Amino acid sequence: MTLLNDREWRGNVFTGSWRPAQGGTAPVTSPTTGSELGRIGSAGAADVAEAAERAAEAQRHWAAVPFEERAAVLRRAGAKFEEEADEIASWLRQEAGSAAGKAGFEVHLAVTEAYESAALASQPNGEVLRSAQPRLSLARRVPVGVVGVIAPFNFPLILGMRSVAPALALGNAVVLKPDPRTAVSGGAVIAEVFREAGLPDGVLQMLPGGAEAGEQLVADPNIAVVSFTGSTAAGRKVGEAAGRHLKRAHLELGGNSPLIVLEDADVDRAASVGAWGSFLHQGQICMTTGRHLVHESLADAYVEKLAAKADALTVGDPEQEGTALGPIIDVGQRDRIHDLVTRSVEAGAKVRAGGTYDAQFYRPTVLDQVTRDTPAFHEEVFGPVAPVIRFSTLEEAAEIAAASDYGLSLGILTGNPMRGMELADRIPTGIVHINDQTVDDEAVAPFGGVRASGTGARFGGTRANLEAFTETQWVTMQSEIQRYPF
């Protein structure tokens, strides 16, 4: 069965059927060919306000549904993702420029997110507290109400699902705003899967749209919590706006994650790890390895092997077998990548591989002789660029790795894992991988960054999801009405 059998979606609000959008429609465009794949609704502020009001009404009924029924919807959604995996992966290739392996892996992550969230619905939701009074005192977790989710273009399916699925499992309604560049794979797919899984009408609202829609989503009084994944610059605006409205904002933002290669690391394996960390999905990942810190004794060999891997990678149409890297999402992003490479070279960095592009296809690039004054050292690249900087001591490695506004993920490659862990203790970061690269995510693990990378672990695992998408409520109960002196 075809999940999305009509390539013109005339609406943008998921209420069981597509509705005309007040914001009109927008093209769905292939970054590979530039051709129009279809059209989808484009939401305005009024659309968001209407959807949030409808979601608030639907949420009260959804929260009252027994947890077994909510879990069953999530399980059916997981099965539907599995059933329609080929079509969904095809949309990720066409719309997001995902290579086949990345697209397949992203669908797999969506499946696991649905199943893990199904299990979340039956988790204990409170604790009995001690009380100095003769009464039952307890703290319980209750749904926040309506969760607003703003998801980006790079991993559009899973970066929407990792908030949508646990929020629904815990009894919330959701208003989802995918990036308009990936409104099908990051929005329409999720909405249709949950519709077919039996999610009640109105509980999930899907609205592709631009800044106006996003601003209304953050400000709307019917939306209690905002879950945002995107750039640090945009995240600051979301956080500021949410603060003015006294609502929680979970911010998963940018990164410039270091991979540290110690002198006892296997250089062949290290180069493979580094290539994957920097070049997967054209480097368009928040956790991408943005800085390669390599011990001076290995640096020349590491750069040579890393450059050879970069030169060997096939860049082109994701629909073609053997393609390792697809296109950059749009021309503007491609130009930002190339500007950063150009400025870094002007500052003294040496190009050992890549540094060129054809249309929206950017060659995987290795920059050597990078210093702390190089633009590629300080700025998030969000492209297939591997800047290499050398160090001589552990103290210097820790200092260089920590010399960043970001703190999302850290990889350390070493023959002595305990030594790696001791080094990690000195570097502010939300995620640490000893003997692996910086890009990883699992539905069962907490995910999030510190510093300019976000507001901590707000997704993944039972505890983080409960904290993100519920409120703590104190309840007491006595056998008789309390007596007071007046």
Whether residue 55 contacts residue 146, with contact meaning beta carbons closer than 8 Å, is answered with: yes
Q: Is 283 helix (H, G, I), strand (E, B) or coil?
A: helix
The predicted structure's pLDDT at residue 105: 96
Whether residue 186 contacts residue 161, with contact meaning beta carbons closer than 8 Å, is answered with: no
Q: Please state the rounded mean pLDDT for residues 286-306.
A: 98
C-alpha to C-alpha distances, 356 to 337, 342, 365, nearest whole angstrom: 10, 10, 8
95 Cβ partners below 8 Å, 6+ apart?
28, 29, 30, 31, 37, 156, 181, 182, 184, 185
From 206, 205, 217, 213, select the one nearest 58 (Cα to Cα). Answer: 205
Instruction: Determine what percent of the chain is predicted with pLDDT higher than 70.
Output: 95
Q: Is 29 helix (H, G, I), strand (E, B) or coil?
A: strand
Residues 17-58 have pLDDT tens digits of 334 456 688 899 999 999 999 888 899 999 999 999 999 999
Residues 351-381 have pLDDT tens digits of 999 999 999 999 999 999 999 999 999 999 9
Instruction: Determine what percent of the chain is predicted with pLDDT higher than 90.
Output: 92
Catalytic residue numbers, as ranges: 252, 286
Residues 124-171 have pLDDT tens digits of 989 999 999 999 999 999 999 999 999 999 999 999 999 999 999 999
How far apart CA 152 and CA 149 sit, in angstroms, is 10
* Long-range Cβ contacts of 300-305 (<8 Å, 24+ apart): 301/267, 302/261, 302/267, 302/270, 302/271, 302/274, 302/388, 303/352, 303/366, 303/368, 303/388, 304/352, 305/267, 305/268, 305/271
How far apart CA 93 and CA 32 sit, in angstroms, is 9
Residues 422-446 have pLDDT tens digits of 999 999 999 999 999 999 999 999 9
Count Cα neighbours of 124 within 13 Å in the Cβ-side half-sphere: 5
The answer, yes or no, to whether residue 181 has pLDDT greater than 80, is: yes
